[in-house]
Each structure stands twice: as C-alpha cells, then as structure tokens.
Structure 1
C-alpha cells in the first residue's frame, strides 16, 4: 500500500516535470500536432510512457512490486507500440502500418491459455480497436487523458479484485503519470499526447482489461470490456457513421468527433471534456460493478442504450458552420482540433 502511494506520487510529479520540459524540444524539432490551428508540441505522450516504464521497472528491479511475466510482457509490448506512435508523430505513417504493428504486439500479449484461440483472436481485435479509438479520442484538449485516467482506475479496480497486484500497481502508476501530463494538457493545452501517448494509453488499458477478464465467458467479458471503453467506442462509431453517411473518406481528418459536436451545441471546451469524463466515469463504474458481481449484467444494457442514444443525437449535429451567403453572415467560427 505504502509503495503504491509513493510510486503514484513519484509518477505524477515526474510526468508533470518531464511534460513541461518536452515542450521546447518538440517546438524546435517541429514535432507538432498538425490538426491544430496553433502549434501544439506532442512529446507529452513520450513523457507519460517514460515515467510509467521507469517507475514500474524500478519496482520490478528492486523486488518491491513484481510485475509478473505476463504484465512485464504487456508493458514491453505497449512500449513498442508507443515507439511506433512516436515515429508517426515525427514522420507520417500509413494507417495500415500502425494497425499491423499494434496487431502484432497485441498477439504477443494475449493469454491464449486462458482465453482460447477464438477468444484470443477477439481479444487481439479489441486491443487494436481500442488503441486506434484512443488515438481518435485525442481530438480535444484533455479528453484522451481524462478518459484514460478514469479507465485506468476502473481497470485497476478489476485487477485488484482478481488479486493481480502487479497489474494493479502498473495501472495506478500509469494513471498518476497521465494525471501529471493533464496539468499541461487541459484547455488551452500547452502539450499534446500525440500518437505515441494515445496508442500507448489505448493498448495498455485494453490489454489490462483482457488480462482481468481472461478465463471468463466471452459474453460477460464483452459486456465489461464495452463498459470500460464506452466513450472511446462511441466516438469511433459516431465518426464512422457520419463519414459514411456524408460519403467522406474514413481516414481523412475532420471536425466530426464527440467534442466537436458538443462544441457546436454551445458548450465550452472544458465543459465538453467534463461531460464526456462524467459519461466515462458512469460507464466504467458499471463495468467494475458487473465484473465484481455487485450488479447484474442487465446494467450493461443501460450503458449500451445511453451510448447509442448519444451517438444518434450527436449524429444530427452539423459539424461545419453554415457557409457565407448574401443573406447570412457567419459571425464566429469553431476553434477545435479535427481528427
């Protein structure tokens, strides 16, 4: 307990300092989020990855908090995915390269002995999907970090319930590091998460959930997994449906994500993140309660219904301001990041 508190505190402070220090090198090297209308350095994700690995491996090396073979392999694979994301931040990479690299890393960490081959294949698909959706969730200041912290606490609670102490410590350290990063990422953000940090976040959290649900039936596991990733999944489904309906390319960046549409309703950047964070907390709480047996699986239907309703409602919100005409003058514009 004392080590967990000390490790989390150390991770938070180190991440806050390293994130601040990463700003100037990223600006000078031109490692910027090209989706923004203002230059936003994106080496903050690298700081989160470095601190998480440093603190977690310190516990492993000293023997104070052993990760275990499976968790250590998970952390190594997540770091490899983060490295792939860093390459994407510095040089543009095709989406299929990111998908293929993430799939290979996921295939190396899934515990097939407990999931079986069919379940393991589904787990690989989920990890890839979650990793990419977290990258898409990084479309507004503070959103990916906020949802990531909440999900990390939920996954950590599930790991603790399964007496996976190494995984629970890793997730607490990661949540603390992400919180330190959020000190600089809240609107107006001074540093971004980037593909490095967002892919690492999605991969680590989704793999951790797979570990905690290994050995359970596929149906109940899918319900818990959905609850823990409901906001990220809703954002991905909303974007895909909107672009298919509008016949826009799926991979072309557009301001049509969750936070963009909430901004079009008149919400502030901070308000939209708080609202989505509250939604994430509610769905994650249901997932934890279902996993621990405190409530029945019927509660997942409420989460699914609320998620579907939100997607359908927000799908009707226009994502572009009306064009200038002789009778209509646009008096303002929406300053958001597209992706």
Structure 2
C-alpha cells in the first residue's frame, strides 16, 4: 500500500519533469504534432512510457512490488508498441505497419490458456482497435490523457478485485505518470502525447482488461471491455460513420472527432475534455460494477445506448472538412507530416 502511494507520487513528479525536458529536443528535431492549430512538440508520451517502465522495473527488481505472471511480458510488449509509435512520430509510417506491429505485440501477451483460441483472437482484435482508437482520441489537448487516467483507475480496480496486485500497482503508476504529463498537455498544451504515448496507452489499458477478464465468459467480458473503452469506441464509430457517409478516406485526418464536434456546439476546449472525461468516468464505473458483480451485464446496454445517442446526435453537427495543403517539414534528417 505504502509502496503504491510512493511509486505513484514518484511517477507523477518524474513524468511532469521529463515531459517538460523533452519539449526542447522535440522542437529542435522537428518532432511535432501538426494536427493542432500550431506545431506541438510530440514527445510527451515518451515521458509517460519511460517513467511507467522505470518505476515498474524498480518495483520488480527490488521485489517490493513484483508485477506477477505475464504482466512483465505485457509491459515489454506495450513498450515495443510505444517504440513503433515513436518511429511514426519521427518518420512517415503507413497505417498497415502500425496495425501489424500492434497485432503482433497483442498476440504475444494474450493468455490463450485462459481465453481459448477463439477468445484470444477476439482479444487480439480488441487490443489493436483500442490502441488505434486512443491514437485517434489524441485529437484535442488533454483528451486522450484524461480518458486514459480515468480508464487506468477503473482497470486497476478490476485488477485489484482479481487480486492481481502487481497489475493494479502498474496501472496506478501509469495513471500517475499520465497525470504528470497532463500538467503540460492541458489546453493550451505545451507538449503533445504523439503516437508513442497514445498507442502505449491504448495497448496497455486494453491488454490489462483482457488479463483481468481472462477465464470469464465472453458475453460479460465484452460488456466490461466495452464500458472501459466506451469513449474511445464512440469516437471511432463517429469518425468512421462520418467519413463513410461523406465518401472520404477512412485514414485521412479531419476535424470530425468528438472533441471537434463539441467545439462546434460552442463548448470551450477545456469544457469538451471535462464533459468527455465525465462520460468516460460514468462508463468505467459501470464496467467496474459489472466486473465486481455489483450489477448485471445488462447495465452495459445503458452505456451502449448512451454512446449511440451521442454518436448520432453529434453526427448532425457540421464540421469543417477542408484540408490544408499537405506538406512536410525537414529538420536535419527528420521528416514530419503536416496535417
């Protein structure tokens, strides 16, 4: 208990300091997220990854807070996905490369002995979709980090209920590191999460939920998994629906995410993030209650209905779809996408 508090505190402070320090080299090397209205250094997620892995390794090395069976492999795989995301932040990578790399990492961590092969394949698909969904959720200052913190605490509660103490501590440390990063990512952000941090966030959270639900029936597990990822899932469905109806490429970036449409209603960037964070908290709370048996799996239907209502309501909000001319900026030997 005391180690968990100390580890989380250290993770928060270290992430806050490291995110600030990495801002300067990101600017000098041109590692920028140009989806915002101004160029934004994109190495904040790297700070979260480094701090999470470092604090977790200290706990494992000292045996004060061992990660437990399979959790160390999960963290290594998540770090590998983060490294792939870092490459995507620095150089142009095709989406299929990110999907393939994430799928390979997911296939290495799923506990097939508990899920079975069919359930394991479904788990791999979910982990890949969750990682990419969080990457898409990183379209507004503070949004991916806020939803990530809320989800991490929910997943930690589920892990604690299963007496997976190592996983619960890891998720608490991760939530604290994200909070430290958010000190610099709240609007107006001074540093961004980037693909490195967003893919790591989605992968770690989705894999952790799969671990806690391994051995349970697929139906109730699907309810818990959906509740813990409801906001990211709603954002993905909204974007796909909008682009299919408009006959635009699915992988082309555009201002058609949840945050953009809430801004279209007149909400400030901060209010949009707070509202979506509150929605994530409500959905995650239902997921935790379902997992612990305090309520039945049918409660997830209310979350699904609410998410569907939000998607259909915001779908009617017009968005600006004009694209800026595609260009690239070369700083030294590094090329960065514009858009």
TM-score (norm 1): 0.94
Q: Distance in 2 between matches of 1:215 and 1:224?
A: 13
Q: Distance in 1 between matches of 2:200 and 2:301?
A: 29
State the partner residue of 1:326. Answer: none
Q: Distance in 2 between matches of 1:57 and 1:267?
A: 41
CA 1:41–1:215 in structure 2 vs 1: closer, same or farther (change >3 Å)?
same
State the partner residue of 1:246. Answer: 246
Q: Could you list the runs of 5+ residues in structure 2 that have no partner in the other structure?
A: 323-337
Q: After TM superposition, list the pairs within 5 Å mapping 1:1-339 onto structure 2.
A: 1-320=1-320
Q: Distance in 1 between matches of 2:29 and 2:269?
A: 28
Please state how far the C-alpha of 1:68 moved relative to its aligned partner: 1.8
Q: Distance in 2 between matches of 1:54 and 1:121?
A: 30
Deviates more, 1:28-37 or 1:164-173: 28-37
- Report the secondary structure of 1:65's partner residue: coil
Contact 2:36 2:140 in 1 (8 A): no
Q: Distance in 1 between matches of 2:300 and 2:75?
A: 29
Deviations 1:203-252 (A, max 9, x none): 00000000000000001000000000000000000000000000011000
Contact 2:12 2:178 in 1 (8 A): yes
What is the Cα-based RMSD across aligned positions, in Å? 1.1
Q: Distance in 2 between matches of 1:222 and 1:294?
A: 17
TM-score (norm 2): 0.94
Deviates more, 1:32-41 or 1:271-280: 32-41
- Report the secondary structure of 1:68's partner residue: coil
Q: Distance in 2 between matches of 1:313 and 1:16?
A: 37
Deviations 1:149-196 (A, max 9, x none): 000000000000000001000000000000000000000000000000
Q: Distance in 2 between matches of 1:126 and 1:226?
A: 10
Please state how far the C-alpha of 1:298 moved relative to its aligned partner: 1.8
Give the count of matched residue pairs.
Answer: 324
Please state how far the C-alpha of 1:321 moved relative to its aligned partner: 8.4
Deviates more, 1:289-298 or 1:257-266: 289-298
Please state how far the C-alpha of 1:299 moved relative to its aligned partner: 1.1
Please state how far the C-alpha of 1:39 moved relative to its aligned partner: 1.4
State the partner residue of 1:328. Answer: none
- Report the secondary structure of 1:4's partner residue: helix
